[in-house]
Chains A and B, each alone.
Chain A
Amino acid sequence: MAKRIDVSGLTAYYGNFRAIDDISMTVEPRSVTAFIGPSGCGKSTFLRTLNRMHEVTAGGRVEGKVMLDDEDLYGPGVDPVSVRRTIGMVFQRPNPFPTMSIYDNVAAGLRLNGEHRKKDLDEVVERSLKGANLWNEVKDRLNRPGSGLSGGQQQRLCIARAIAVEPQVLLMDEPCSALDPISTLAIEDLIGELKSRFTIVIVTHNMQQAARVSDRTAFFNLAEVGAPGKLVEIDDTERIFSNPSVQATEDYISGRFG
């Protein structure tokens, strides 16, 4: 259920503005890869090129190659809709469908895939909510609206929604930035559990979080405001945090920056 991502020479634009430039990296299956870097360096942009969400923003354009095992995501004839069905995404702010119940939120992806049998849906909803450590809190109110949950619960609901379709890869863009420390810990634990089944990429501004949850860490930077963001280095998290090969990485991690 987990695949390797191989990016080579990836450049992304917003209209004429080049947001990220010539990025190449490999994301290992069944591991957690963290993206760190200063604000505006293109972490979210890069993340969104990995499931072809970048092109839904006005003027969004991508050059380069993204391979999911041996399938070129930007190859001719590849349907972005089917790419997004295999690569799930969790956003910075929890965004459950407010008009849907908790149950329907989790089942939404399955229904898109044409699964409508109640018994199968029930099973997957329960499994996904358990997988997202939310089952015990919501099992008595599955038919209540998802927007009635707390922020942390909503974010776990979004994770349940994303993993319900058994994606190959799970992309998370600062999934804890709107949450309190306890919900954050809950989600970090969850990431630790999920990595046995999924390839996970997480963007975070929290150094401790990157150090805690990730196996590998990629540091992005930009030369100046308005310049495109670049990948500085990617390495084992332990190494990045103890003995990075680039000085800028060490400066950023230790807070001596700019």
Chain B
Amino acid sequence: MAIETPSATAGPTGPPASPASAKGATRKGDRIFLGLSRGSGITLLVIMAAIAVFLTWRAALAISADEASFLTSFEWDANATPPRFGIAVLAFGTVVSSIIAMVLAVPVAVGIALFISHYAPRKLATPLGYVIDLLAAVPSIVYGLWGALFLVPHLTGLYTWLDEYLGWTHIFRYEGGAARSLFTVGILLAIMILPIVTNVSREVFRQSPKMQEEAALALGATRWEVIRMSVLPFGRSGVISASMLGLGRALGETMAVATVLSPSFLIKASLLQPGGGTFAQNIAAGFKEAGGMGRDALIASGLVLFVITLLVNGAARLIIARRKEYSGANA
């Protein structure tokens, strides 16, 4: 935006002393750059608006034709006449599996990030960082295959154990069978988002101001106390942002969920029973066979996912903003 005020572009080399020579050269470049950046900005907005209008219109068509309750019913017969479909199961599955993923991944990610940034000797920290970078680049279908071939058969032991000690809660009741449940999906998603959350948190912790760390040290803080007094408070909003990145990935993950979950349009009391579904998984599974109305129904469900993501991001921003005056940005 500073481009629009010519004086701001003059910089240290263009004091008012020699206006004539400097102006001609910078002005032309400025105008081209201004045109380019403005043009691409407007194009982007137009494209996005067009997509939004198209999706909303198709979704509205589907929702108005829906004979069941779109938000609360447990069925998906979009191709039937009249079409009947609801997103309750998908919303539940998406939210629950993402929550499981966050609960498992964020503490571990913060721990690894702190270890790399503040505990590990440099010789260990650097390769560890590389490995985690590498993990972040693994395609999700690979995680999905690994999940289906390795994780699912190996989780039955954990499931039995959970059932034994926590089965009375109903949430962790396990009645045998393959571990193709929302819980497994949550674990797999946790593993998938771990690298990105770790990486971003590590960068944030690494930038924690030395001045405040030294202040804590000079007061006689141990390493953990330094982390608690200055690194964690400083990194708090960064960790929230990192978690949101991870959550975004977990909410929208398609292939890995589709390969691991055995879907159904039911909400089970137990997280360990197979069944349920997520928005992205349901779209991937159903898009090919869906007719016109079926596709519009899937688009409508995708819009709901979009709204959920927006809400989550908004909530995160609120949390960050509320702590702003303590953030140390002005220290």
Contact = CB atoms under 8 A, between A and B. Distances in A.
Given A53-B214, A158-B215, A99 B220 contact: no
A96 B219 contact: no
A73 to B, nearest CB: 13
Contact of B326 (A99, A108, A113): A99
Given A98-B328, A99-B326, A147-B331, A84 B220 contact: yes
Contacts of B162: none
B217 interface: yes
A158 B212 CA distance: 11
Contact of B222 (A51, A81, A93): A81
B330 interface: yes
Given A91-B211, A158-B215, A81 B325 contact: no
Contact of B212 (A51, A84, A98): A98
Most central of B219, B225, B229, B327 by chain A CB within 10 Å: B219
| B contact face: mostly helix, strand, loop, or mixed | helix
A108 B220 CA distance: 10
Contact of B218 (A51, A99, A100): A51
A158 B211 CA distance: 12
B211 A99 contact: no
B219 A85 contact: yes
Interface string A100-125: 10000000110011000000000000
Given A95-B212, A99-B233, A84 B326 contact: no
Interface string B198-233: 000000000001011011111111100100011001
A97 interface: yes
Contacts of B230: 97, 99
Contacts of A86: 220
A158 B218 CA distance: 11
B237 to A, nearest CB: 10
Contacts of A109: 219-220
A148 B222 CA distance: 27
A147 B209 CA distance: 14
Interface string A220-238: 0000000000000000000
B220 A97 contact: no
Residue of B221, B222, B330, B331 contacting most chain A CB atoms (<10 Å) = B331
A95 B208 CA distance: 13
Interface residues of A, number: 30
Interface size class of B (residues with CB under 8 A): 20 to 34
B234 interface: yes
Most chain B beta-carbon neighbours within 10 Å: one of A56, A88, A95, A158: A95
A226 to B, nearest CB: 24
Interface string B51-89: 000000000000000000000000000000000000000
Contacts of A39: none
B67 to A, nearest CB: 54
B240 to A, nearest CB: 14
A159 to B, nearest CB: 12
Contacts of A95: 209, 211-212, 214-215, 331
Contacts of B211: 91, 93, 95
Contacts of A97: 212, 215-216, 229-230, 233
Given A84-B218, A91-B211, A91-B214, 10 more contacts: A83-B220, A85-B220, A91-B218, A95-B331, A97-B212, A97-B216, A97-B229, A145-B326, A147-B331, A161-B215
23 contacts: A51-B218, A53-B214, A83-B220, A84-B219, A85-B220, A88-B218, A91-B215, A91-B218, A95-B212, A97-B216, A97-B230, A100-B326, A108-B216, A108-B229, A109-B219, A109-B220, A112-B221, A145-B326, A147-B328, A147-B330, A148-B325, A162-B218, A165-B219
Interface of B: 209, 211-212, 214-222, 225, 229-230, 233-234, 236, 323, 325-328, 330-331
